[in-house]
Amino acid sequence: MTQGQPRLGAALAPYLIVGAGLVLSVGYIFSVTDWARLASPELALSNLKRFFPPNLGEIPGLFWPTVDTLLMALFSTLIIAVVVPPIVWLSAANISPNRLTVLLGRGIVIGSRSIHELVWGLLFVIAVGLGPLAGILALGVRGIGFVAKIVAEEVEDIDRKPIEALRAAGAGPLKVLILAVIPQIMPVYVGTLIFQFELDLRRAAVIGVVGAGGLGLAFHQSMIQYKWADAMAIVVILVVLVSIGEVVSRQLRKRII
């Protein structure tokens, strides 16, 4: 065996492992698919027809669940705005006090991002009970990691000349942070918060499924009661809310960044 053959085998090994994983995944999906239903398009269409036309007369009665959804998105974003700065200070390597605090900050970021908002929702529903507060806390904790990661990476890439100039003039860490770091990252910080509000608006519409209130809870109740047309009316509201939120978010980010 030549020397090049082992190297070729080592180079191909990751691709073979990924390929085998894909084959097994496809096989599993095929094994659990309801092929009998897919073989009858008429049945699938008849099931979909139950949702149409949406019961638009139900929309006025969904005013308060819609308000709950908007408030969950708003207050969760406010929590993120308050909590993220100290986490960024810990996790950004170029401004964090030491390596231990960097590990602490990045551990918080990873812990926040690694758990889905529905799982956080279940935890907070058990902790504080049913209602929008559980949704606000779940979305807030879930979003902290995303915003902190984006902003911390921006902090690590900032221009170091103003920092070095202030330190050479005898400025302390707090003054360096206020005068040299914050002005450089503020547009990205605010822009990311606006984008996070848009994400929270979408997530708030779903997280109600676990009992956190809002349109998600109303949708879940309609589905378990087989009120298909009512459920589709809630989908219409969600589409309108998310569309408005996306337009407003995009315009605000254009003005800031």
| Token representation of residue 237 | 């509201």
For residue 2, the model assigns a pLDDT of 52
* pLDDT score of 36: 66
> What digits encode the pLDDT tens for the residues 178-191?
777 778 888 888 88
Summary mean pLDDT of the chain: 80
Beta strands in 72-181 (DSSP E): none
State the amino acid at position 238 in one-letter form.
Answer: L
What is residue 229's predicted lDDT score, i.e. its pLDDT? 85
Nearest to 151 by CA among 203, 210, 198, 106: 106
* Average pLDDT score over residue span 248-255: 73
Cα angle 119, 121, 125; round to 5: 125
Model confidence at 256, pLDDT cuts 50, 70, 90, reads low
DSSP string, 185-241: HHHHHHHHHHHHHHHHHHHHHHHGGGTT-HHHHHHHHHHHTT-HHHHHHHHHHHHHH
Sequence-distant (6+) residues with CB within 8 A of 247 are none
Using DSSP's 3-state secondary structure scheme, residue 60 falls into: helix
Q: How far apart are CA 125 and CA 111, in angstroms?
A: 19
Q: Which residue has the higher pLDDT, 87 or 32?
A: 87
What letter does residue 157 receive in the DSSP assignment?
T
Band the pLDDT of 236: cuts 50, 70, 90. confident
* CATH 1.10.150.300, applies to 58-256: no
Q: What is the pLDDT of residues 146-205, one digit of tens each?
A: 888 888 888 878 777 777 787 777 777 777 777 777 788 888 888 888 888 888 888 887
**pLDDT tens digits, 1-14:** 455 556 666 667 77
Average pLDDT for 74-86: 90
What is the number of other CB atoms lying within 10 angstroms of the CB of residue 92?
Answer: 24
pLDDT for the residue numbered 37: 64
Mean pLDDT over 117-135 rounds to 84
User: According to the model, what pLDDT value does residue 112 have?
Assistant: 86
pLDDT of residue 30: 74
Q: What is the pLDDT of residue 9?
A: 60
What's the whole-number mean pLDDT along residues 26-55? 72
What pLDDT band is residue 38 in, cutting at 50, 70 and 90?
Answer: low
Domain ranges for the chain, please list them.
4-40, 58-256
* Residues 119-155 as b or e (16 or more Cβ within 10 Å = b): ebbbbbbeeeeebbbbbbbbbbbbbbbbbbbbbbebb
